[in-house]
Structure 1
Amino acid sequence: MRVRVSSKGATRLLAHHPWVYRSDVLEGPDQPGLYPVVSSRGVMGLALYNPNSEISVRVFSFKDAGRPQEVLLENLRQALRRRKEAIAQEPQGAFRLVHAEGDLVPALILDYYAGHGVMQVGSAALEPLTPELVQVIRAEIPLQSLLAKNEQKTRSLEGLPLEVKPLLGPVPDTVMVREGSIVYRVDLMGGQKTGAFIDQRDNRIRLQAYRGETALDVFSYHGSFALHLARNFKQVTAVDSSAAALQRAGENAQANGLSNITFREANAFEFLREEERRKAQYDLIVLDPPAFAKGRRDIERAYAAYKEINLRAMKLLPSGGLLATASCSHHLSEPLFYQMLAEAASDAHRTVRVVEKRGQGWDHPVLLNVPETQYLKFALLEIL
């Protein structure tokens, strides 16, 4: 059995973009599975296929070589082996072991938290292979436990149930993770995503290079940026709208022996406006908001929201102050992100220098052919 795609779908695959939408599938099996993909040009590759999904084809190999399942599992092995040295160096750390399309294992996310794994499967074609995936993972990575945290809404689009269940060993509710010079607790069962936002790990560690009197961490969640800043700033303020998140942030501060973080439960937009009214100033501000743009139709609204918080933050920084600002919205492209920052600087009447352009960690690989794999933008800016 095989999947036949239109000339439009074939053009995408020839450019080595792995997705073909349902409207560009001419014929295919009735059931999800792993199949060769063909067009009038011949064999295009091997893919996960679901006739009921909007993204019906997710290619994991652009070669017609080997049995599809064996090729997919070999891609998984290679992804895990690329992370082995990092785990050996920091076994108590947190890393992404598999980054879906970025590692040529579509629809699979696997994160490592101090010896414990959390996995998310997002395709009906991949779900039946879960036992084989677990077998490969166990053979390559020493894990005390492995949790399937399959509660992402996109599973519903694949006709899959939302569920959280252990796949290996007794899974603890929480685990303590080391990140550079700090530690923080990860809620494996109830935390957002797989438990924590490890794509910002390297950016958080980077900020330990800076020192000053006051720092502000907005959209703080569990305080990960604030913890790093508190090492070298006399006073840090962590702001989040979730009382539960701030409670965990406070526990993380205690675990690190840090008493110089003030926690504020507040709406970020209102907080920044109030700080501007009272003419507050900070030496460094971090803005790490959630994805304001969930889809293309959200771009205009999200652009305005990003501009608003960045404009307010720029007004709270003195000359020489630093703004560390991020967007995890894929649909807000990097050019749009920096255009937004330029407009915010202009409206704030500030001269702003780009110190560094950064992004997601090395363990969240980007495929140049697949812009969707580059989602995190992170800018270090200096107010002149």
Structure 2
Amino acid sequence: MLTSIFILAHKSCGDTIKNWVNWGFVLMTKVVLHQGKQKRIAGGHPWVYWGEIKEIIGDFNPGDIVEVVDFRDRFVGRGYINPASQITVRIMTRNSEEEINEEFFRKRIQGAWEYRQKVVRESNACRVIFGEADFLPALIVDKFGDYLSVQTLALGIDVHKETIFKLLQEIVQPKGMYERNDVSVRKLEGLPLITGFIGEPFDPKVVIKENGIQFVVDLEGGQKTGYFLDQRENRMALQGLVKGSRVLDCFCHTGTFSMYATKYGAKEVLGLDIAAPALEVARVNAQLNGYGDRCTFKECNSFDELRAMERAEEKFDVVILDPPAFTKSRKAIEGAIRGYKEINLRGMKLLPPGGYLITCSCSYHMHEDMFLDVILDAARDAGRQLRLVELRRQAKDHPMLLGYPESHYLKCVVLQVW
């Protein structure tokens, strides 16, 4: 076992523990927080960073379950530890009586599945488990029709994945499961990148239904787990805004916003994306739904194309901006601000007075107030005024844990531009 870096301060305590071990008691390793560091964690945040730890009492292996206590030895929570990760402990339970075993995982997965069955409407696809927000840190499970895509993104959850696979089969009863552990964050946990079928193989390209629209999802080769489920409810915000309109969908990926715009009556939709494979799927989606005559897609850099369209004095009634995350760290926030300002400014210039801008950010570090400030700054430079129609967040199957602000990541702002 990995011996704790920290040792007990008093020999008497060490002798007591030694006696307990001799008498057959099994002691859980204890992680003691520095004074003043417990407030955020006790308030519901599930992450314990290395610098917040005063000492670790006992031996452990990376991935083991440990107990977290404050500087007065009061119980805070129980979770898994990995000293190789910047997030040293991820808390799984705040109940001192609750053990982390198969029954624990059964209750958590069952609870998550029951919640989705209550909040997801008109779709056979949803996020079944959203990591920390479902009290199962670093576990992502998405359901696409009859199939599941699974990610275990930290060592402490990865060691339980066989149990998790078994319980997902028992509770959700999919026809097949696919492991998408090809995410670089696993390297930070000392984990290999792995993809493949869990159990019997199946055709990884499946067709899902969402609000009356069909979409092809590639569980094997698609982005993330295969499809972006978190915008499901935001795409419905197009209803009433696009009828009879010319729509520009930037960073369109597989054309999800484009399909909704067409469904809701747009006369013409142009989707832009730099990824040729994603655009091939977008074209298939358009044909699948009978929208091929109104949807076209162009392979290009959206930044460059927005500038070119401005020079050409192109006009659209509705512009949609749904870019990938421009920053995944605080260090890159200045560059992200420049990127968001640029695309919003260019998008506004393509709109006539009274046109609509739907603009999104999935960067957690681009906080909501900051994002609104960037949009307003872009409007000033473009000489435009903005009227807020809606301020939206991620879909209900991606719940936001109030004590864990990292779960509040997606912003979708619907604006009328004058």
In structure 2, the residue matched to 1:19 is: 47
- Rounded to whole Å, the distance in 1 between the matches of 2:371 and 2:106 is 36
- Rounded to whole Å, the distance in 2 between the matches of 1:240 and 1:6 is 47
In structure 2, the residue matched to 1:221 is: 253
- Rounded to whole Å, the distance in 2 between the matches of 1:333 and 1:85 is 29
**Which of 260, 271, 277 is matched with 1:244 structurally?**
277
Higher Cα radius of gyration: 2
Per-residue CA deviation, residues 100-120 of structure 1 (Å, 9 max, x unaligned), is 011111000000000100010
In structure 1, the residue matched to 2:404 is: 370
In structure 2, the residue matched to 1:354 is: 388
**Which of 325, 329, 332 is matched with 1:298 structurally?**
332
In structure 1, the residue matched to 2:6 is: none
**Which of 33, 38, 49 is matched with 2:64 structurally?**
33
1:108-147 matches, cutoff 5 A: 108-147=139-178
TM-score where L is the length of structure 1: 0.96
**Which of 189, 212, 230 is matched with 2:220 structurally?**
189
Contact 2:82–2:89 (Cα < 8 Å) also in 1: yes
Q: Which is worse superposed, 214-223 or 71-80?
A: 71-80
**Shift in Å, 1:270:** 0.8
In structure 2, the residue matched to 1:4 is: 31
Secondary structure of the structure 2 residue equivalent to 1:126: helix
- Rounded to whole Å, the distance in 1 between the matches of 2:77 and 2:145 is 36
Q: How many residue pairs get matched?
A: 382
Q: Which is worse superposed, 201-210 or 306-315?
A: 201-210
Secondary structure of the structure 2 residue equivalent to 1:230: helix
Contact 1:36–1:68 (Cα < 8 Å) also in 2: no
- Rounded to whole Å, the distance in 2 between the matches of 1:163 and 1:310 is 37
- Rounded to whole Å, the distance in 2 between the matches of 1:261 and 1:275 is 18
- Rounded to whole Å, the distance in 2 between the matches of 1:213 and 1:334 is 29
Secondary structure of the structure 1 residue equivalent to 2:283: helix
Per-residue CA deviation, residues 114-164 of structure 1 (Å, 9 max, x unaligned), is 010001001111112112112221222121111111011011111111001
- Rounded to whole Å, the distance in 2 between the matches of 1:356 and 1:196 is 24
**Shift in Å, 1:3:** 3.1
- Rounded to whole Å, the distance in 2 between the matches of 1:77 and 1:168 is 21
- Rounded to whole Å, the distance in 2 between the matches of 1:336 and 1:312 is 19
- Rounded to whole Å, the distance in 1 between the matches of 2:105 and 2:45 is 17
In structure 1, the residue matched to 2:207 is: 176
In structure 1, the residue matched to 2:196 is: 165
Q: What residue identity is the alignment partner of 2:277?
A: A
**Which of 337, 341, 365 is matched with 1:307 structurally?**
341
- Rounded to whole Å, the distance in 1 between the matches of 2:177 and 2:30 is 33
Contact 1:179–1:205 (Cα < 8 Å) also in 2: no
- Rounded to whole Å, the distance in 1 between the matches of 2:163 and 2:37 is 30
Contact 2:146–2:176 (Cα < 8 Å) also in 1: yes
**Shift in Å, 1:72:** 4.4
**Which of 287, 310, 315 is matched with 1:281 structurally?**
315
Structure 1 gap segments, 5+ residues each: none
In structure 1, the residue matched to 2:19 is: none
**Shift in Å, 1:30:** 3.5
In structure 1, the residue matched to 2:417 is: 383
Contact 1:12–1:19 (Cα < 8 Å) also in 2: no
Q: What residue identity is the alignment partner of 1:249?
A: A
- Rounded to whole Å, the distance in 1 between the matches of 2:82 and 2:328 is 23
Secondary structure of the structure 2 residue equivalent to 1:68: coil
Structure 2 gap segments, 5+ residues each: 1-27
Contact 2:77–2:91 (Cα < 8 Å) also in 1: yes
- Rounded to whole Å, the distance in 2 between the matches of 1:370 and 1:43 is 19
